[in-house]
Copies of this chain bind each other. A is one copy, B any other.
Amino acid sequence: MARIVMKFGGTSVADLDRIHNVARHVKREVDHGHEVAVVVSAMAGKTNELVGWVENMPKKAGANTPFYDAREYDTIVASGEQVTSGLLAIALQSMGIDARSWQGWQIPIRTDKAHGAARINEIDGSLLVKRLGNGQVAVVSGFQGVGPDNRIATLGRGGSDTSAVAIAAAVGADRCDIYTDVDGVYTTDPRVDPTARRLARISYEEMLEMASLGAKVLQVRSVELAMVQGVRTFVRSSFDDPEAPGMSDIDNLPGTLICDEDEIVEQQVVTGIAYTKDEAQISLRRVADRPGVAAAIFGPLAEGNINVDMIVQNISEDGSTTDMTFTVPSGDLARALSILNNNKDNLGIDTVQSEAGMVKVSVIGIGMRSHAGVAATAFKALSEKGINIRAITTSEIKISILIDGPYAELAVRTLHSVYGLANQ
């Protein structure tokens, strides 16, 4: 017997039939003798409808942007999960399973006061643990908690993943199963390289670095939380027949277990190849080389809410100043350039150069900490294909390479192959 948390997203609970299907998944685990808490999102489309209402309310006099109080936004939007949790509880009861819905304020799931993008401060798991022990399934509304002001607070889009991991930590669950529309995490994007292979296990750290690949599967915050709290998180498909044989045996089931690296016996040097499209490169030439200049450059960009990535600093050609190169999302390029040009004289920048349409390709693997030559292999392989490298950054478990956009797919396939990741 284990205690498990099961999480189902909006697509999995989009209508009454699918909610009933989710109930069958839950029943299977209950029948196996497990204690089960289920975390649910709003029915697909519901959250968008509710957000649409909020955004279409008349603007505040004189305001340019739609005006709303984030506390009211939360009150409105969290109603979607409230409905799903009630419906799933009823579906379970109709199968003869003891179940009840729990809203964030009832558990309670206490958050900070950042309405609309709140963080969970504390979950009192004692009531849930008691009910689970009595054999009652807990159906928990994801995405929501209650703030210090006793008002509903939501965790931001995709927050139900974080709810699920946090609930798993609070009740000391053996595992958190995330049911989603993919059956796990792959060595790379199968649409780019059909030889991509599903990973049976991946470490928390690697999952975080997978960024573009991982984010489609699981909210980044939930992975951070799983890492900190040591919650074993199993990504699996919600489309499988709930009553098919072996569906409760995760060791022999398609899916990916996100876990501590100690649990991964045969650690590969490289685990996966990720990529991010639509990056733009900005180069600042002959920047005055004095303390604090990096902060002076990146401060205003951060204030402008521009996400800066891949920062590379070099000595300039003239030997007395510095060159600074970094990337931003292409969509933010114009805004970033305008901020930089406005501060150009201040910052002592001679020239601002930029180019959009770049792609960042990343090689990820916890094994590279103890293996030399991983980077060299990548550079050699790309060079053999005639792919020009625009910038390189490295971390302990990741090498990121900036290249020209049109070479993205070729680079991904080349790297995927050279590290032996392809499906056999």
> Hey, which bits of chain A sit against chain B, CB under 8 A?
16, 19-20, 50, 53-54, 56-61, 63, 67-69, 71-73, 75-76, 79-80, 82-83, 85-87, 89-91, 93-96, 100-101, 103, 105-106, 150-152
Contacts and interface: CB of A to CB of B under 8 A. Distances in A.
Nearest to A61: B96
Contacts of A83: 50, 53, 76, 79
B57 A94 contact: yes
A106 B53 contact: no
Contact of A85 (B50, B75, B85, B89): B75
Nearest to A59: B94
Contacts of A94: 57-61, 63, 67
Contacts of A73: 86, 90
A142 to B, nearest CB: 15
A68 to B, nearest CB: 5
A76 B53 CA distance: 19
Contact of A16 (B56, B85, B89, B151): B56
Contacts of A60: 93-96
A67 B89 CA distance: 12
B90 A16 contact: no
14 contacts: A16-B56, A20-B58, A53-B87, A57-B87, A58-B91, A60-B94, A61-B96, A69-B100, A71-B100, A72-B100, A73-B86, A75-B86, A76-B86, A76-B87
A72 B101 contact: yes
Given A73-B86, A75-B85, A101-B72, A150 B61 contact: no
Contacts of A20: 57-58
Contacts of A72: 86-87, 89-90, 93, 100-101
A87 B54 contact: yes
A16 B57 contact: yes
A69 B90 contact: yes
Closest CB pairs A-B (n = 10): A76-B86, A79-B79, A75-B86, A72-B86, A60-B94, A72-B89, A79-B82, A57-B90, A68-B90, A72-B90
A420 to B, nearest CB: 49
Contacts of A63: 94
B76 A82 contact: yes
Contacts of A69: 89-90, 93, 100
Nearest to A93: B69
A5 B302 CA distance: 47
Contacts of A54: 86-87, 90
A40 to B, nearest CB: 12
Contacts of A19: 57
A85 B94 CA distance: 32
Nearest to A150: B106
Nearest to A80: B79
Most chain B CB neighbours (cut-off 10 Å) among A16, A72, A89: A72
A111 to B, nearest CB: 15
Contacts of A106: 150-151
A286 B10 CA distance: 66
A99 B95 CA distance: 44
Given A72-B90, A73-B90, 13 more contacts: A16-B53, A16-B56, A20-B58, A57-B90, A57-B94, A58-B94, A60-B95, A63-B94, A67-B93, A67-B94, A75-B82, A76-B83, A105-B105
A50 B76 CA distance: 15
Nearest to A82: B79
